[in-house]
Structure 1
Amino acid sequence: MGSHKHHAIIHIIESLQQQLQLIISDTEELENDILPNYRKVNQSTTAEDFDKVLTAIKEQEEKNCVPVHKAGRYTIKSVDVLLKRPGTLKVMDDHVVFSTIQSPFGDDDKYLKSVQCVGRDKILTTGNACEIKQIDRTGVILQTIPTHDWDKGEFLFSLKDWYPVGLCYAKNWDLLVSMRTTDMELRRIVRYSGSTEIQEIQFNGLGQSLLSTDIAYLLPITENSNGDICVTDYAGMEVVVMDSSGELRFKYSGNPTYRNFRPLHIASDVNAQMLICDTLGNVIHIIDGDGSFVRYIEYPCYGGLSIDTDHNLVIGDRHSKSK
């Protein structure tokens, strides 16, 4: 190891130790000075009281934790966007980044592309490498699954001339798969119960395709708490939402603040709200279960997004490099 690299490592370690001491000091301040003022929380506590606490936490996090966050290259951030008040879950006025997780895809040629929470403690990550890596909340790799060796794969059903471009589990554990034909002329959504195809969604009442065709982009898919099927049509520049029977409910094509809209990743919370990654604006759009715009979260999301079982938003920050 060269002398320059050795001194750089020592400098980083010293910097992290200094930041750790600041965090410990500020944590004690929060516990001794701020928390006692808000310990008696009940149904009559106002939203303003909660927001004051969250603002104080955010200020300390931004002041002391950002230098630690920037030590990573491609990162995954846990972002608290749902304010957990007694009896309700509501989108907060401002998000709070409460942890940063080092992505296993950190080389220049292996960037983070998507994240998927598995319960409370595990995250599935994918990059442009031919593998899926399961990590815990500290960034430790628990399992690596190669995806390029199809000969070793186990297939539950035959797709023939169709190619899968998105999938998710429904609330009843049916499997929803978005797919296109190998010639890219048709797209559809298929619901499977086990290995049995039980539903196909492809056209509207006029016989027109519900999803754009003639292009090879992915079709990320999820089901919200209302049972609606939500698909981000990247090529069509819109989010397509259908009810459980496959009837079109609405399409969302962005908000005037960001006129060019390219949706990619999508997740849904317990309130049936949809969180949509806009790759052009590099922001997250939140819409309600009827397609009405709620707000933006101005935060990089190109590396994917998912919601864990504690209702926290987990975001993959593809371009988070040390500076």
Structure 2
Amino acid sequence: MDPRTSAQELLLCDLCQTAALQSHCELCQINLCKACVGDHLSDSSKRHNVVPYKHRTFSDFPKCQNHSKKQCELYCKKCDIPVCTTCISSGKHTGHDLLDMRKFISSKTEELGRDLTELEKEFNPVYEKIASDLKTEKAHVVGHFEKLTTTITQQGEDWHREINIIVNKRKSEIGEMKEKYLASLNEEEEKIMEITSDLNESILEMKKILDANDVSRTSAYKSRNDEFRSLPPKINISLPSFFPHQINREQLYQSFCSVSALPITSVPRGYILKTKEAVSCPSPKPMLDEPEIITTIDTRYNPLFSVTCLSDEEIWTCWNTDIINSYNKEGKVLKLVQTSMRIGDIAVTNSGDLVYTNDITRTVNIVKNSQIQELIRLQEWIPYYVCVTSTADLLVTMLSNEKRSIVDKQSRVVRYSDSNIEKQSIQFDDKNDPLFSYHHLKNISENRNQDICVADYKAKSVVVVNKAGTLRFRYNGHPYNQSGPFKPQSITTDSQSQILIINNNDNCIHILDQDGQFLRYIDNCDLKRPWGLCVDKKDNLYVAEFLSGKVKQIKYM
């Protein structure tokens, strides 16, 4: 019995896919069973040359490694090698899964094409983006250290002549620190560039294989995509800060200043490459022509400030008191947190714990198992609004203490790690101008692309910066249906990376895409003095009304 037709059940007719093949059309390169030969020959628009399957000719299959005069007509999946009929007759591949060589070459060509597409469209852009981000981060590091040097110099001018020695010493320390940090980033950049170069070489090699249409090279192709799937760790740079002290001549060196120097660590990157099993992202959700109110929750408290979602069924709210309540959709109070002083803003962590700010004590606190714990205490800054990021960091908006001239009238956003260590300060643009106005109403939210969105009420603008703190765009309102200046009161984002903003001046909600393009208003839900808002995981919008004390749940997608 011919091993080419008896070894596997896979060798079936290409037309009916049910009967065992017996013949082969060499001009059409198709395998046929006895019943399908007549149907195939009935197509007179093409020439045909039907021969018994075992007598078909081969001109482009690879030579057998063990039998040099034989061509490999089949491929053994278990042994991962091409095999000829003599190999099969020897019994070495009995019970193995054998594929017709044409089908194998076809599947390998498809695999190669898929891998090439993945490298070009998925992997290469990510590595190029990482390299670009490293350049931006290096520039940020250089700029940060230049600001430190300038600040230290200004501080030194206020001191007596003998402080100059200490000034130079501190500059030298900062310079060494900068070189150390930049050296780490340079090393990381070199690694990324090496991988990117290797990746591009793989892409070129794949293209050459595809263009050459060489079956031997195609069958010998081994995918390297898994090598590039695992991204190298990212160097986490925690930049130092400058803390000036009052002049103390007896302890001049110690009291001049302190510069925090945190270790350089490696953390997972914020980029995620799809695995081979990954499914495609869901298609965008369309917005309703007419948003509608689903539920109205009456908290019976006013003025009502903030609302945040604990789950799809439970929300937290706060107002101008020392109490924070959670409600279900029926308006029933589920939990109550009694604090020591007035609440500033609230947020919920990724693990479901409540976080709140207190501008009187200058603290950020967390409620765990009904117990209040202090996370952050500030001295020269006053915290106001807070949000939790996708990586469990805290973003806090804050103002400087006016009584301290060294930080007089400044506003910034600070990122704290899950261990409550300051990781990043966002305060100035690339021209060293302030990004934010000096005013406490500065609601904040992180978008799905890790942009940081700030509703700057006094500046009449929404300020959006990327994760590195670089300004992406400002949104100053849309002229339609606007009865006065744009006054962004509160801000949140949804699963589509859309930005939702309360305009306090016209009782409506603006919706933007992630690049700041205006999409639509929500202005038909009888909103009365809306103040706070949030979105749950199902993209239901919750709006807290300042004077009525009501929270309206709105369906808009």
For normalisation by structure 1, the TM-score amounts to 0.67
Shift of 1:267: 0.8
Shift of 1:131: 1.7
1:31-110, aligned counterparts within 5 Å? 87-105=283-301, 110=302
Shift of 1:136: 1.5
- Which 10-residue stretch deviates more, 246-255 or 94-103? 94-103
Equivalence for 1:287: 512
Q: Deviations over 1:191-240 (max 9, x none)?
A: 11121111111111111110012x3x321100011110000000111000
- Separation in 2, partners of 1:321, 1:208: 39
- Separation in 1, partners of 2:410, 2:431: 16
Equivalence for 1:241: 464
Shift of 1:147: 3.6
Name the structure with the higher helix share.
2
Q: Is this contact kept in 1: 2:304–2:549, CA < 8 A? A: no
Equivalence for 2:447: 224
Q: Deviations over 1:237-263 (max 9, x none)?
A: 100000000000000010112151100
SS at match of 2:374: coil
Shift of 1:157: 2.6
- Separation in 2, partners of 1:95, 1:320: 21
Equivalence for 1:132: 324
Q: Is this contact kept in 2: 1:115–1:303, CA < 8 A? A: no
SS at match of 2:288: strand
Larger relative contact order (CA 8 Å, sep ≥ 6): 1
1:17-36, aligned counterparts within 5 Å? none
2:432 corresponds to 1:207: yes
Structure showing greater Rg: 2
- The number of aligned residues is 231
- Percent identity over the alignment is 35
Equivalence for 1:168: 387
Equivalence for 2:375: 156
Q: Which amino acid aligns with 2:314?
A: K
Shift of 1:319: 4.1
Shift of 1:311: 1.1
- Which 10-residue stretch deviates more, 128-137 or 201-210? 128-137
Equivalence for 2:416: 192
Q: Deviations over 1:141-161 (max 9, x none)?
A: 122223444699532233111
Equivalence for 1:273: 498
- Separation in 2, partners of 1:268, 1:160: 31
- Separation in 2, partners of 1:321, 1:253: 28
5+ residue gaps in structure 2?
1-281, 342-360, 364-370, 403-407, 551-557
Q: Which amino acid aligns with 2:451?
A: D
Q: Alpha carbons of 1:129 and 1:158: their partners in 2 closer, same or farther (altered >3 Å)? A: closer
Equivalence for 2:169: none
Q: Is this contact kept in 2: 1:104–1:141, CA < 8 A? A: no
Q: Which amino acid aligns with 2:385?
A: G
Q: Is this contact kept in 1: 2:383–2:396, CA < 8 A? A: yes
- Alignment RMSD, CA only? 2.1
5+ residue gaps in structure 1?
1-85
For normalisation by structure 2, the TM-score amounts to 0.40
Out of 109, 112, 123, which is 2:315 matched to? 123
Equivalence for 1:78: none
SS at match of 1:199: strand
- Separation in 2, partners of 1:229, 1:87: 24
Name the structure with the higher strand share.
1
Shift of 1:103: 1.6
- Which 10-residue stretch deviates more, 140-149 or 313-322? 313-322
